[in-house]
Amino acid sequence: MIRRWTTIAALLLLYSGSLKAQTPDNMVYNPSFEDYRSCPQKIEALGVMTDVEAWWQPTKGSSDYFNACGSRDCAVPRNKMGYQTAHNGQAYCGIYCSQANYREYLQTELKQPLEAGHRYHVSFWVSLADKSPHAIATLGALFTREMIDDTTSWDILMERETLENEGNELVSIATYLMPQILNPTDSILADSKIWREVSGEFTAEGGERFLTIGNFADFNHSIVTTIESPNTILQGAYYYIDDVSVIPLDQTINSEPLTKEPAPKDDEIKILHGIYFAVGKSDILPQSYNELQHLLETLNAHPEMRIELRGHTDNQGTADFNMKLSEARAAAVAEYLTKKGIEQHRITTKGFGKTMPIENNDTPKGRKHNRRVEYRVLAD
């Protein structure tokens, strides 16, 4: 009898392992916001969300991070916006969604671009904060090829243009982005005690790399309803967001082991295009997560590989300031890698300031490309 149950258990284990191997992975890094750089300390009206790995705010709207390790304002389950346990784990994010001239969003870069013609299942969970006097229906998920980097704190538009009509009056023309996944407009997301799922399926056009979550409808079309809330501190609808997933539905699962990429050659220089820093500082922004992950994977796949991280700036500012800034940024990337387990002896750093541009500094695009970190493979 014992042998029989042992055999059954072994078969079940094999079967479950086989299912796991054939189940497509979630294409979202840090989907429930559990990985963080530091515990959140406060909610700032004009702050920048930098505590959580792989997620950021794509506009000037100050999205928020909540974690059980956070301060009283940013803790889980009780925080400045109300009381809610996490849908999964001990963390979630929060966004303000319904005021006419102010919005907040969450953005991340997928593990890989979506493939044209393939279908994907998308879902995320939401809960209305206790201190919200309003609720909306129009929360959605937008997939784009390019990163959204809007310098306003309004709802995200594809185009903003001001024209004169026949009466010489200024008229604002707006082209609104349409999310591929949208909560049904007849289903108000008014639950503050439980989590509600927003989900759907869509066919990719191909090349979509970035996912943005929020309210993409203008105020007049956001389906706003009033909620009785005795402890209201807001003027609109504020939602906690958790457990985000993007799952491919019809792609062939390759069970073959991946071929190990060859190590870069000695003295080869590779530019890390996707590493971003705060303006004039060496603080690495969450937008850099995918590039850093790829570099980590390369270093882990080739344990014999040693690199020199090289920092560069544009020509704005003094030579002394730029040299120190380039050194600090190279050192910041090195620190990130060592904290993730890469041995310190495998990494050296060097700053070049503004002495080695790769494009003309006379244009914003050229200066952007000149502000970079790269690595050179060191010979044994």
121, part of any domain: yes
Contact criterion met (CB below 8 Å) for 111 and 87: no
Query: pLDDT (tens digit, 9 = 90+) per residue, 282-295?
Result: 999 999 999 999 99
Q: Which CATH number covers residue 294?
A: 3.30.1330.60
* Shared-domain flag, residues 113 and 178: yes
* Shared-domain flag, residues 237 and 322: no
Average pLDDT value over all residues in the chain: 86
Q: Which CATH number covers residue 109?
A: 2.60.120.260
CA distances from 11 to 19, 20, 23 (A): 12, 14, 18
Mean pLDDT of 303-310: 95
* Shared-domain flag, residues 59 and 161: yes
* Shared-domain flag, residues 76 and 224: yes
Which of the four pLDDT bands, split at 50, 70 and 90, describes residue 129?
Answer: very high
pLDDT surpassing 70 at residue 173? no
* Shared-domain flag, residues 238 and 141: yes
- Nearest to 311, CA basis, from 378, 372, 357: 372
18, part of any domain: no
CA distances from 292 to 22, 65, 193, 281, 337 (A): 27, 21, 37, 18, 8
* Shared-domain flag, residues 203 and 285: no
* Shared-domain flag, residues 134 and 234: yes
Number of domains in the chain: 2
Query: pLDDT (tens digit, 9 = 90+) per residue, 132-166?
Result: 999 999 999 999 999 998 888 888 876 655 555 55
pLDDT surpassing 80 at residue 19? no
155, part of any domain: yes
pTM: 0.83
Which carries the bigger pLDDT value, residue 233 or residue 201?
Answer: 201
Which of the four pLDDT bands, split at 50, 70 and 90, describes residue 169?
Answer: low
- Nearest to 336, CA basis, from 345, 325, 326, 344: 344
* Shared-domain flag, residues 290 and 343: yes
- What domain range includes position 84? 55-248
* Shared-domain flag, residues 219 and 338: no
* Shared-domain flag, residues 207 and 349: no
Three-class SS state of 301: helix
